[in-house]
Structure 1
Amino acid sequence: MLAFAKDITENQPTTAKESENDELKQYMEYQRKLNSERLVYHALDYAKTHLHLYTQKTEGDEKKLADYTQNAFPLSHRFADGETLMLLLRKLVNGHSASNNWYRMNAYYYALVYDSLKRFVKIYNQLIVESPDKAKEYGVSEGIEVDFDDWAYLYFPDLDFHIGQALDYKHYPFAKRNKAIEEEVNNKMQAGSSREEALNSLKADYELDDTGIKFLLGKPISSEDKELFFTSVENPIYEALSEEGDGSWGEEGESLLDHSYYMGSHLKVWEWRTREEVEAETESVMKELGKTPLN
């Protein structure tokens, strides 16, 4: 199974405060109508199947295949050709289907999963409206559209692979981090550092890893980075998320999961507001939760 920021096999999440907050309760009821494991599987399977079909259709025409991958995989086509993307998708599907291990992804894989999910969710949501019976066959949700931006906020540990690319205000916590990194890199480059030197100097402050830096430098994926590292499902990799806090951050008795859903509910409720209102109020909530751009 692929390891995201949260356990995608948990389909009935609850929070400590939803009984006291109608907006949070409504948000959590929406979450409980999703099956994230099925969503990820079908997104990857759709991407793999259609890449295979288009590869056959182009009959070796590299230009047509490149045009297709650029459109279907706007982030990940930059570091891999069609053949390599197919290999990575197969690894992802196989890892996702394995029940005995958690598979940890790097920036290259996260970018590919992001591309695949964003594309599939658009198609799935169209089916919900136009062909609900067909949509039901996927088992992704209980007859509701999937909010991709909300899902990305909850399940991706960061969107560092999006640095340098525009992010919608609904990704505000990630966008703030990305903007901070980008500004520091630009300042260091203006002072004479190379982009690689600038990124490496920020590794400790922003917990950037070597693979993520290679991605941001536009380097093609290496053989080493094609590997998915794994650990046994018996390893409680999500246990810390459910531990209740002692009040040193947020409110006493609340977990990191509670905080994450609480923040997600605010972003969801604020969709109709202006960007300025969202950013101002998100800053307030982030301070309340003790959530910094580094988290």
Structure 2
Amino acid sequence: MLAFAKDISEPPPTHPEEVKNPKLKEYMDYHRNINHEKLVYYSLDQSKGYLQKEMGACSDDKKKIEDYLKNNFPITYSHVKDPEQLLMMLRKLINAHNSTNNWYRMNPYFCTVVYDCMNQFVTLFNRLLNEGSDEVNSYQVFRDQPEKINFDDWVQLYFHDGDFLIGKNVEHPHFLFFKRNQAIEENMSARKESDEKPETALEALRKEFEMDPIIIRMLLGQSPSPKDLELFYTSRENPIYEYLYDTESPDGFMDGEALIDHSYFLSFQIFGLSRQEASSVLEEAANISRN
């Protein structure tokens, strides 16, 4: 199965503050209602099917398939322009996701593909839901009554970071990733005005912001190498998510708070908000914490 920032094979746990906060419980119930594993699968499988269909229909029309990739894989297209390569990546992602024995870690190239696929699927699902279409029920995305899926919220909770979105035209707020990405982009712009070579400037940025080296290659517009097209795996028996439940972690917002509880509560606080609104809410929360 694909290894996201949280274990998508299990419903989210009960947050310790749910009993005191009905709105938080409603938010957690929403996430527990989602079958996250199925959501990812349908997103990938449907994108693969649509891509194959388009490739067959446009086999003699290179411009048409290029336009299809630009419109449906806007984040991915800046570095993966070959439809055959994209199809291969989708097949690898689906095969990995269907594995019951291993966790598969995605590098930033694969993250862009998953992001685009999920954005497409969630848009379609929400439209069908709004239209009252029976087709919604054909997707086993919810354990109970289907609800509108908040893509912005999902991305911030389940992707490890948003570095693969740096320099991209993103339609969603992704506030929890925005400040870091904005700082990196501003630093990039400042360095462009100097006499530094792009490779040198980006390598300095990589060290300063501790970025994955692949991000630098993506920012330089480089396509994935054969090595980049591999998904690294570890046994499902390895407790890769155990640290999220450590109540003694120094990264929690409060003493005794597990990282997973902190993550859900943070996302709950800014659920459905614009960047400006989210900034105000978190600034107010930080002031309360300091006092």
Would the TM-score normalized by the shorter structure come out above 0.5?
A: yes
Matched, 1:33 2:33: yes
User: Sequence identity, in percent?
Assistant: 41
Residue of structure 2 equivalent to 1:293:
none
Secondary structure at the counterpart of residue 19 of structure 1: coil
Deviations 1:125-177 (A, max 9, x none): 12223245321221112311111111001011111121123446741120101
Residue of structure 2 equivalent to 1:56:
56
Matched, 1:218 2:221: yes
Relative to structure 1, is the Cα distance of residues 3 and 289 closer, same or farther in structure 2, using a 3 angstrom cutoff? farther
2:232 to 214, 229, 234: 229
2:147 to 141, 144, 151: 144
Residue of structure 2 equivalent to 1:110:
111
Relative to structure 1, is the Cα distance of residues 58 and 200 closer, same or farther in structure 2, using a 3 angstrom cutoff? same
1:199 to 197, 202, 214: 202
Residue of structure 2 equivalent to 1:92:
93
Relative to structure 1, is the Cα distance of residues 248 and 112 closer, same or farther in structure 2, using a 3 angstrom cutoff? closer
Q: Is the 8 A contact 1:75 1:115 kept in 2?
A: yes
Which residue type is aligned with residue 64 of structure 1? K
1:1-295 equivalences in 2 (<5 Å)? 1-80=1-80, 81-141=82-142, 142-167=145-170, 170-245=173-248, 249-268=252-271, 271=273, 275-285=275-285
Whole-angstrom CA distance in 2 between matches of 1:246 and 1:173: 20
Q: How far did 1:287 drift? A: 7.4
Whole-angstrom CA distance in 2 between matches of 1:52 and 1:247: 47
Q: How far did 1:18 drift? A: 1.7
Whole-angstrom CA distance in 1 between matches of 2:207 and 2:24: 34
Deviations 1:170-193 (A, max 9, x none): 411201010011122222333322
Deviations 1:247-279 (A, max 9, x none): 6742122111111101110111x52xx653332
Whole-angstrom CA distance in 1 between matches of 2:288 and 2:124: 37
Secondary structure at the counterpart of residue 103 of structure 2: strand
Whole-angstrom CA distance in 1 between matches of 2:287 and 2:220: 32
Q: How far did 1:209 drift? A: 1.3
Whole-angstrom CA distance in 1 between matches of 2:51 and 2:288: 45
Relative to structure 1, is the Cα distance of residues 84 and 135 closer, same or farther in structure 2, using a 3 angstrom cutoff? same
Q: How far did 1:87 drift? A: 0.5
Relative to structure 1, is the Cα distance of residues 115 and 246 closer, same or farther in structure 2, using a 3 angstrom cutoff? closer
Aligned residue pairs, count: 287
Q: CA RMSD in A?
A: 2.1
Using the size of structure 1 for normalisation, the TM-score is 0.90
Which residue type is aligned with residue 113 of structure 1? V
Secondary structure at the counterpart of residue 255 of structure 2: coil
Secondary structure at the counterpart of residue 225 of structure 2: coil
- Of stretches 74-83 and 123-132 in structure 1, the one that deviates more from structure 2 is 123-132
Secondary structure at the counterpart of residue 234 of structure 2: strand
Whole-angstrom CA distance in 1 between matches of 2:49 and 2:289: 42
Q: How far did 1:211 drift? A: 1.2
